[in-house]
Amino acid sequence: MHFPPKSSAAVVCGISAGLMIGVAISQRSAARVQAAAAPTAKLNLLPGMPPLKDPKNIYAADKPGMLSPAVRQYPSLIYVPNSKSDSVDIIDPATCKIVHHFA
């Protein structure tokens, strides 16, 4: 009977061990994802917090056209902090110009 060289057997054992470890890790990861994705029975909201629009989407209440009527007339501005000078530039995105600067 003819047997393959010992080095070939070592390579086959190494590949087999690597595959088994990979399968074990992927199964554990899949179990963790399923456990994390499982819905909770009841969400503990903070006192005074409004109910969530969609518990699976953290941005559900942050879409275009969903601003409160109390703030709709305010201009859209971008605040850019500068940690080196300890200041903030305020930019109007419509004109791409700095409209205010404070330190």
Residue 43, in any domain of the structure: no
**Backbone torsions φ then ψ of 98, nearest 5 degrees:** -75, 125
> Between vectors from CA 78 to CA 48 and to CA 70, what angle results, nearest 5°?
40
Convert the pLDDT of each residue in 43-88 to its tens digit: 777 888 888 888 888 888 888 888 888 988 898 899 999 989 999 9
pLDDT of the residue at 67: 82
Residue 45, in any domain of the structure: no
CA distance 14 to 39: 40
The domain containing residue 32 runs over which residues? 1-38
Long-range pairs for 8-17: beta carbons < 8 A, 24 or more residues apart: none
Convert the pLDDT of each residue in 3-42 to its tens digit: 555 566 666 666 766 667 766 677 766 556 665 665 555 6
Residue 48, in any domain of the structure: no
Residue 63, in any domain of the structure: no
User: How many independent structural domains does the chain possess?
Assistant: 2
Residue 11, in any domain of the structure: yes
Residue 44, in any domain of the structure: no
